[in-house]
């Protein structure tokens, strides 16, 4: 077996054999296949796709590259959630403690930013002292004592995916549906959760731009999970506009805490509750209203215990960027569009994301929104505030925002997309 033959097979629109898939995943994990060679194969997969048999085998090979966890010893049923990535998508932060407060155990293995989308671990690492890297024993201890844990996948869990995930981020291959599906599901199946809810984003700020592509991805992942004995359901949710009023790391943590305190933007609260209800139902927990756990403070209690259990200080002051730049409305009227992709690229350019897999991120960098589509704005009022420690990046970030919003005449009717567009089970 040699990597050049594998690359050529997919380059020439051929079907990879089970033996080719098993070999290339194992060889890449061991370092026998170089990053540039796997980059070429990933690009060939992006351009030419994979059939269901190839995707299932690729996922199985990713799982086989490492260990599998088991949560049978827990007294609670397990439920996990995964988002395909969006702009301002901080939902995991309030969702995990909320579902735990309602009686499920939430083993949330999360990742770092991919391209213009933010990463849950990058966000939480803006909390002083908080640790993303836990041993399996530490993860189980936090899960058992608090009901929820948000952490990085350990080195032993689908190590092939850990390498490929970082490579996709910096080689323009993030959007490949087979690679997205296998990356997500290899970790979730190996993780050992009993049920899984997928939040598949659709729109300009998502990797899936069309509802058809989102359904294809969701159906592929639901089938992979179900065939592996994991109760799996997917919601297709709108990502044409950023979620909430922030896109960045510490900015989104601050907003998540507002949600846990019973406030926060309406769209973030709505999606958090929709996903919480799906997770509780998949875990077999009935007649529990997650809205009550937000209102009575029990979800906040779990958040504080969870953050402290991972070394973080839930009372610490979050980092703030040294420099700000305000973008004002050029005219009065109704804001009819605020493009999620443009805002995501701006946040990435300001330092909230990374251009290379080894790059650090700025905790305080990002974009703050002062209006959402459907709201009336006045000429000169703040629309967006850009945050960064490196002000020389403002001009580059502003380039991505020049055509990212539209303001129509006062009185223009506006109808927002529903947050939940479809459900696949």
Catalytic residue among 10, 57, 81, 82: 82
187 assigned to active site: yes
Three-class DSSP labels, the chain: CCHHHHHHHHHCCCCCCHHHHHHHHHHHHHCCCCHHHHHHHHHHHHHHCCCHHHHHHHHHHHHHCCCCCCCCCCCCCECEEEECCCCCCCCHHHHHHHHHHCCCEEEEEECCCECCECCHHHHHCCCCCCCCCCCHHHHHHHHHHHCEEEEECCCCCCHHHHHHHHHHHCCCCCCCHHHHHHHHHHHHHHHCCCEEEEEEEECCCCCCCCHHHHHHHHHHHHHHHHHCCCEEEEEEEECCCCCCCEEECHHHHHHHHHHHCCCCCHHHHHHHHHHHHHHHHHCCCCCCCHHHHHHCCHHHHHHHHHHHHCCCCCCCCCCCCCEEEEEECCCCEEEEEECHHHHHHHHHHHHHCCCCCCCCCCCCCEEEECCCCCCEECCCCEEEEEEECCHHHHHHHHHCCCCCEEEECCCCCCCCCCCEEEEEC
Catalytic residue among 80, 89, 122, 161: 161
183 assigned to active site: yes
161 assigned to active site: yes
Catalytic residue among 57, 123, 168, 277: 168
89 assigned to active site: no
Catalytic residue among 90, 163, 187, 277: 187
Catalytic residue among 110, 126, 183, 298: 183
82 assigned to active site: yes
The residues annotated with a catalytic role in the active site are: 82, 161, 168, 183, 187
């Amino acid at each position: 077996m040699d990597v050049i033959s594998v690359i050529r097979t997919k380059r020439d629109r051929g079907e990879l054999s089970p033996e080719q898939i098993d070999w290339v995943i194992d060889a890449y994990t061991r370092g026998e296949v170089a990053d540039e060679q796997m980059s070429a194969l990933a690009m060939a997969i992006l351009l030419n796709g994979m059939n269901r048999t190839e995707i299932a085998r690729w996922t199985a090979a990713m799982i086989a590259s490492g260990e599998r966890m088991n949560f049978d010893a827990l007294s609670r049923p397990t439920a996990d959630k995964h988002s395909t990535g969006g702009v301002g998508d901080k939902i995991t932060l309030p969702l995990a403690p909320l579902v735990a407060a309602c009686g499920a155990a939430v083993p949330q293995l999360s990742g770092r930013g991919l391209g213009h989308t933010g990463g849950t671990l990058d966000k939480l690492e803006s909390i002083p002292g908080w640790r993303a890297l836990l041993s399996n024993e530490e993860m189980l201890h936090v899960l058992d004592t608090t009901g929820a844990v948000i952490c990085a996948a350990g080195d032993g869990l689908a190590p092939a995916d850990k390498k490929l995930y970082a490579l996709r981020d910096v080689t323009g291959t993030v959007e490949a549906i087979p690679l997205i599906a296998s990356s997500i599901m290899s970790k979730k199946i190996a993780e050992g959760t009993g049920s899984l809810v997928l939040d598949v984003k659709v729109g300009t700020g998502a990797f899936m731009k069309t509802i058809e592509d989102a359904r294809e991805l969701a159906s592929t992942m639901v089938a992979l999970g179900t065939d592996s004995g994991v109760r799996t359901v997917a919601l297709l949710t709108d990502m044409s506009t950023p979620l909430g009023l922030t896109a960045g790391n510490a900015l989104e943590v601050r907003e998540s805490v507002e949600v846990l305190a019973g406030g926060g933007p309406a769209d973030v609260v709505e999606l958090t509750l929709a996903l919480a209800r799906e997770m509780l139902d998949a875990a077999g927990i009935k007649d529990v209203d997650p809205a009550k756990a937000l209102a009575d403070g029990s979800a906040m209690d779990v958040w504080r215990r969870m953050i402290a259990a991972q070394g973080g200080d839930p009372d610490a002051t979050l980092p703030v960027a040294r420099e700000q730049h305000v973008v004002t409305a050029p005219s009065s009227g109704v804001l009819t569009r605020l493009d999620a992709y443009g805002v995501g690229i701006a946040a990435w350019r300001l330092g909230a994301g990374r251009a290379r897999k080894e790059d650090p991120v700025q905790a305080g960098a990002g974009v703050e929104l002062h209006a959402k589509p459907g709201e009336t704005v006045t000429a000169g009022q703040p629309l967006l505030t850009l945050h960064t420690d490196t002000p020389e990046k403002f001009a580059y970030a502003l380039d991505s925002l020049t055509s990212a919003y539209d303001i129509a005449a006062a009185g223009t009717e506006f109808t927002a997309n529903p947050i939940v567009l479809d459900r696949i089970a």
